[in-house]
Amino acid sequence: MLSYILRRLLWTLPTLLAISVVVFIIINLPPGDFVTSLISYRRQQGLQVGEEEIARYRAAYGLDQPLIVQYGYWISNMVFRGDLGVSFEYTRPVTTLIAERLPATALLAGAALLFTWALAFPIGVYAAVRQYSIGDHLATGLGFLGLATPNFLLALVLMYLGFRWFGYVPAGLCSPEFCDSAWNLGKLIDLLKHLWLPVVVIGTAGMAGLIRILRANLLDELRKPYVVAARARGVPERRLVVRYPLRVAMNPFISTVGWVLPGLFAGDIVVGQILGLPTIGPLLLNALRQQDMYLAGSLIMVISLLTVIGTLISDLLLAWADPRVRLGVTGGAS
C-alpha cells in the first residue's frame, strides 16, 4: 500500500504539469486576448483607443511577450512563490478573489452532498431489497427523471415555483437587506430560505445516479452464492444485507470523495450562473469569457490539484473498505 501511495504521489507532479500546459494553451486558443476584449468594450462606449494605448495595455498586462514566456512567468510564480497572479479584469490577487467566494461555495457543495447521500442511500437500498415493488418502480422513475432533466431547467422551474408559492425568487444566497449585515437569527433564516433551491438542483442529478448505481450493485451482491448460503443457514435478512452485501455496494458512495473536493471548490458553474450564486463557478466562467488568463488558469489548476488529491483519497478509502480492492492494490504493488 505504501508503494502504491508513493507511485501515485510521484505521478501527481507530471500530471499537473501536463494539465497546466493544456490549460494555458486552451485559454489562449480563441482569437485575441483580454486586451482585445477591453478595447472592444471601450470602443462600444464611444471611446477612441489608439495603437499606442493598445501597446501600453499589452505591456502592462505582460501580453506583449511570447506565450512561452507568459507561461513560464505564470507557472514559476505559482510553484516557487505560491502566487496565483493578479486578475486582469478585477485588478486584484487571484487568492483574494478565491478566499471571498470559497465559504459560500463550500457551504453549498457540502449541503448538496449531504442532501444527495441522505436520500440516495435509503432509496437505493429499499429499491434493491424490494425489487419490482411499487417503491422500486418509483425509485427507478425518479432516477431516470433526475438523470434526464438538465440542472439549469430544474433551476428555472423551481425558481418559478418558489415565486408562485412563496412570493419571492430564491436566487442568490441572501436577500439584499441581509447580504452586508452581521450574522443573526434573521440572516440564518434568510440563508436557509435561499439555500434549499441550489441544494435541490445540484443534488438531484447526483442523487439519481447514486440510486441507480447502489441498487444495481446491491442486487448483484444479493444474488451471489455467499448470500444465498448465509440465507439458507437462517441468518436474519437485515443482518445479512447490512453485514456484507451493503458494505460492498457502498463503493459508489466512497468513490464520490474523488469529486467532493473539486466540487467544494468550483460548485456547479451553470446553476451558479443562473441563480446568481456568489460561488467560484460563475467567477471561473466569467474569467474564461473575458480571457482573464491568470484568474481562469489558476482556478482550473486548483480544481485539477483537488481532483488528483480527491481521487487518491477515494482510492485509499476504497482499499480500506473493500478487501477485494485492497488485495488488488497490494498485488499490484508487489
Start-end of H helices in 167-184: 176-179
Q: Where are the alpha helices (DSSP H) in the chain?
A: 2-28, 34-44, 51-61, 67-76, 94-129, 134-148, 151-166, 176-179, 185-222, 225-232, 237-243, 245-249, 251-255, 257-266, 269-275, 280-289, 293-321, 323-333
Give the model's pLDDT for residue 265: 65
Q: Which three three-digit cell numbers place residue 328? A: 488488488
pTM of the entire structure?
0.76
> How many Å apart are CA 238 and CA 236, to the nearest integer?
6
Q: What pLDDT is recorded for position 323?
A: 64
The pLDDT value given to residue 1: 66
Query: What is the pLDDT, as a whole number, of residue 185?
Result: 85
* CA quadruple 150, 153, 158, 164: dihedral, nearest 10: -160
Q: Which pLDDT score is estimated for 165? A: 81
- Each residue's pLDDT expressed in tens, for the chain with a length of 334 residues: 677 778 777 888 888 889 889 888 888 887 777 888 788 877 877 777 778 888 888 888 788 888 888 888 888 888 888 888 888 888 888 889 988 888 888 888 888 888 888 888 888 888 888 888 888 888 888 777 877 888 888 888 888 888 888 777 777 788 877 877 778 888 888 888 888 888 888 888 778 778 888 888 888 888 888 888 888 888 887 888 887 788 777 777 777 666 766 765 666 677 888 888 888 888 888 888 888 888 888 888 888 888 888 888 887 877 776 666 666 544 443 3
Q: Look up residue 224 and give its three cell numbers.
A: 451471489
Q: How far apart are CA 95 and CA 83, in angstroms?
A: 8
pLDDT score for 266: 65
> What's the pLDDT score for residue 334?
35
The Cα 4–Cα 264 span in angstroms is 26
Name the phi and psi angles at 183, rounded to 5.
Answer: -70, 130
